[in-house]
Structure 1
Amino acid sequence: MSRVTRFAGRDPGPNARVAGFMAHLRGHGLRLGVAETALAVEALTHVGAHDPDEARLALQAVCTGCAEEVAAFGALFDAWWRNDGRVRDKLIPSHAAATEHMRNSRSADGPETHGTGRMDSPDESNGAGEAMSGGE
């Protein structure tokens, strides 16, 4: 069996795979951004990207900036690209958005509602839920 990671049939393609790899590297402490992701894709067009050793060297040149990162890169590369034939379903992880920089009409400190009623009963009915009139 091949050690190379397989990607799901709904995989959006090589650019998303590289973006997912960059997210994997960021998750392990490498400081990489959009520019490095674009440069990594560009670097793979100049080497035989089908050859794992060439791809590793090209990506290592783009993604590492110090000896510690170079030392860690091999294991991170293998964990993403040579994952013993396992299928990667989600290429780019989704994280909960940080809400501190988002605007919302709700008060961040206050309660959600000001009344004590429930959705199916008005506030002044003490939870009985009965209508004041007969409905006729």
Structure 2
Amino acid sequence: MPESLEELDGLLLTVPKHRTVQRDGIHFQGQRYLAPTLAPFVGHPVTIRYDPRDISEIRVYDHDTFVCVAVDEAHPNLRLSLRDIETARRARRRELRQAINDRIPAVAAREEPHQAAPAPRRRRLRTYEEDG
């Protein structure tokens, strides 16, 4: 049995992922997670664990040893679930796809080549050496 509630939370986070610590933090699901304790781990692979119902923070482990809790600084006090982010991404993709599909007929109609009548070919006069 874990000694504290924090240890119990850590055990319940069953979604481990491997990431490499970058100079600007850990990148995961399009978010950037930072913590001052990650500085010595730049360039090293770590394991992160997160709660899919709240990915505003992740727990970072190095060889099964807890390192720190890294926070998404873009949304520090906002509880975002993985489902919320995926839903927002799908909606944005649909909007963009619809905008592109709306523009395709307008662009295609505008770019129809205007068929000009071909210029009549001029007959070249043949010249011979003896005519010279």
Verify same fold: TM over 0.5: no
TM-score, scaled to structure 2: 0.22
Give the number of the structure whose alpha-carbon radius of gyration is greater. 2
Going by fraction, where is helix more abundant, 1 or 2? 1
Going by fraction, where is strand more abundant, 1 or 2? 2
